[in-house]
């Protein structure tokens, strides 16, 4: 029997499998598709995801294949300079096609011993008090202590568990695809500039090898959402909106997306949990979807591993939903708002103009960009100093930086005075005392970090530290 079965071999599932493997937990990844997809559904990684990759020591691989872009215009495409002094060492978006992101995450997982089996489609689920069993289309059956659905917006896991997926259906739709164009680059640029004055969800950008990513509003909402559009539909809509079809031909893939927003009623059903798009869907404004899934996995991984290996305190695994579901709800809300602001209708355009003026105020600009980048997240871990619930920045140490000491996924006690003890928890938590500079020393001479880098205690009193250790890292050991 496996420790964990993960249904879905996309970025959420593979990241989760890696986090489990880092903690010594065996995870089998089952993916319905026969091979990795070449489809470029996501084009970038935001600051919080980049921090996660750095915390696990693999960021440089992504930087080698990506391009750094400023954060200008990432909220509803409103072209304002990025706010100053964002709380991150990565105040940019890394442009990188999703197939490259997927490949690099799979390589990381393989280094940790994760097994991904392709062409395995889930058709049935059953669970008992001790295990959950997955039945596959080819007749295979696999059992594990837990099963995680990372199988996308049309999640089979969610359906089999009969977890409600309430929300709003699509009211509008956008066509998207990769194809070749015959229009000259200068003419294409002029048309783009003109059309995007009123249609923000319109564009044609080069991908290399003669391919362009083309996005254009659809004429309406398709009755069969799973049916891809035809090239003729693209041509008709390009002509209707831009007055030219750009000479599109030779499509590599064509698809459509709507502005539906849905959030799973709950993330757990017994020994089955949901993560990524299986738990939430929303319009792609701001490029948050893939990032949200990676961050779900990062939050869930160490908690699930603690449950499997036996040291999890009561309620730790349930804190995954308590923390991540509100984050997803906020993303649904801000993408709804961005979708409205992208409408060419006079009312939404008036609101857009007003918001653009408000973004001239530094605090308003920062507030919106922190939503997109997820750097403003603060989990509810109790009352205390401002650091509590936030992830600790990458503070400098006498040798290196904090994130370099987080590669193995353990908890960390930052002890500036060197006066606190981890007796009974040193098998799960490391102690760091070698600081080049302080980290909010007047209010937090010491801080306890979870394996995902979020601060769950700050202070200087040994008894209070031990209470926090029991709450987040379980009982002490002799």
Shared domain for 235 and 275, answered yes or no, is: no
Residue 463 is predicted with a pLDDT of 96
Q: How many CB atoms lie within 10 A of CB 238?
A: 22
Q: Say yes or no: 409 and 357 in one domain.
A: no
Q: 148 with 34, same domain?
A: yes
| CATH classification of the domain holding 61 | 3.50.50.60
Q: Are residues 306 and 331 in the same domain?
A: yes
Q: Distance of alpha carbon 397 from its chain centroid, rounded?
A: 28
What is the residue range of 197's domain? Answer: 172-258
Q: What is the pLDDT of residue 422?
A: 97
378 is a domain residue = no
pLDDT, position 437: 65
Whether 187 and 216 map to the same domain: the answer is yes
Supply the pTM of this predicted model. Answer: 0.93
β-strand 115-118 against 93-95: which pairing, if any?
unpaired
Residue 397 lies inside a defined structural domain of this protein: no
CATH of the domain at 438: 3.40.30.120
> Are 12 and 130 contained in the same domain?
yes
**Whether residue 448 is found in the same domain as residue 429:** yes
Examine residue 468 and state whether it is found in any structural domain, yes or no.
yes
Indicate whether 391 belongs to any domain: no
40, part of any domain: yes
Residue closest to 419 by CA, chosen among 458, 460, 468, 467: 460
Asked if residue 431 belongs to a domain, the reply is yes
**From first to last of its 478 residues, what are the pLDDT tens digits of the chain?**
899 999 999 999 999 999 999 999 999 999 999 999 888 888 899 999 999 999 999 999 999 999 999 988 889 889 888 888 888 999 999 999 999 999 999 999 999 999 999 999 999 999 999 999 999 999 999 999 999 999 999 999 999 999 999 999 988 899 999 999 999 988 998 999 899 888 888 888 888 888 899 999 998 888 777 788 999 999 999 999 999 999 999 999 898 888 899 999 999 999 999 999 999 999 888 899 999 999 999 999 999 999 999 999 999 999 999 999 999 999 999 999 998 898 888 999 999 999 999 999 999 999 999 999 999 999 999 988 888 999 999 988 888 899 999 999 999 999 988 899 999 999 999 999 987 666 655 567 899 999 999 999 999 999 999 999 999 999 999 8
Q: Which of 373, 390, 410 is the last residue of a domain?
A: 373
Residues 313 and 407 in one domain: no
Is 309 found in the same domain as 236? no
Same domain, 286 and 417: no
Cα(431)–Cα(83) distance, integer angstroms: 34
Residue 395 lies in a domain: no
Q: Looking at 356, 373, 390, which one is the last position of a domain?
A: 373
Same domain, 153 and 188: no
Asked whether residue 316 is domain-assigned, the answer is: yes
Do 275 and 156 fall within a single domain? yes
Give me the number of domains the chain comprises. Answer: 3
């Amino acid at each position: 029997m496996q420790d964990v079965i993960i249904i879905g071999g996309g970025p959420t599932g593979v990241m989760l499998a890696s986090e489990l493997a880092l903690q010594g937990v065996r995870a089998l990844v089952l993916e319905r598709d026969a091979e990795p997809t070449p489809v470029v559904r996501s084009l970038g990684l935001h600051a919080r995801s980049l921090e996660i990759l750095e915390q696990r020591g693999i960021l440089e691989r992504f930087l080698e294949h990506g391009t750094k872009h400023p954060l200008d215009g990432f909220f509803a495409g409103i072209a304002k300079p990025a706010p100053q002094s964002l709380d991150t060492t990565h105040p940019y978006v890394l442009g990188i096609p999703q197939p490259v992101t997927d490949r690099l995450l799979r390589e990381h997982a393989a280094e940790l011993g994760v097994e991904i089996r392709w062409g395995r489609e889930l058709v049935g689920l059953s669970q008992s008090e001790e295990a959950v069993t997955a039945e596959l289309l080819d007749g295979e059956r696999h059992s594990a202590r837990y099963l995680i659905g990372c199988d996308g917006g049309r999640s089979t896991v969610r359906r089999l568990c009969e977890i409600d997926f309430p929300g709003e259906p699509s009211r509008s739709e956008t066509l998207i695809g990769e194809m070749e164009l015959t229009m000259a680059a200068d003419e294409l640029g002029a048309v783009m500039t003109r059309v995007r004055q009123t249609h923000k969800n319109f564009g044609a950008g080069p991908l290399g090898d003669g391919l362009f990513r083309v996005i254009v509003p659809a004429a309406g909402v398709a009755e069969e959402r799973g049916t891809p559009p035809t090239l003729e539909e693209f041509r008709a809509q390009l002509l209707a909106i831009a007055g030219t079809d750009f000479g599109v031909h030779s499509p590599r893939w064509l698809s459509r997306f709507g502005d539906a927003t849905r959030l799973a009623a709950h993330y757990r059903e017994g020994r089955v949990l949901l993560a990524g798009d299986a738990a939430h869907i929303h319009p792609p404004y701001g490029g948050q979807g893939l990032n949200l899934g990676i961050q779900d996995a990062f939050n869930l991984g160490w908690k699930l591993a603690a449950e499997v290996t036996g040291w999890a305190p009561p309620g730790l695994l349930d804190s995954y939903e308590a923390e991540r579901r509100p984050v997803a709800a906020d993303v649904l809300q801000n993408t709804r708002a961005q979708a409205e602001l992208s409408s060419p209708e006079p009312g939404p355009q008036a609101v857009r103009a007003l918001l653009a003026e408000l973004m001239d105020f530094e605090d308003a600009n920062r507030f919106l960009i922190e939503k997109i980048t997820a750097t403003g997240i603060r989990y509810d871990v109790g009352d205390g100093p401002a650091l509590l619930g936030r992830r600790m920045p990458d503070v400098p140490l006498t040798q290196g930086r904090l994130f370099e000491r987080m590669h193995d996924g353990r908890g960390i006690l930052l002890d500036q005075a060197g006066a606190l003890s981890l007796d009974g928890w040193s098998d799960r938590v490391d102690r760091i005392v070698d600081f080049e500079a302080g980290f909010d020393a007047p209010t937090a001479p010491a801080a306890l970090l979870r394996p995902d880098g979020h601060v769950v205690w700050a202070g200087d009193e040994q008894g209070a530290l031990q209470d926090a250790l029991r709450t987040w890292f379980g009982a002490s050991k002799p």
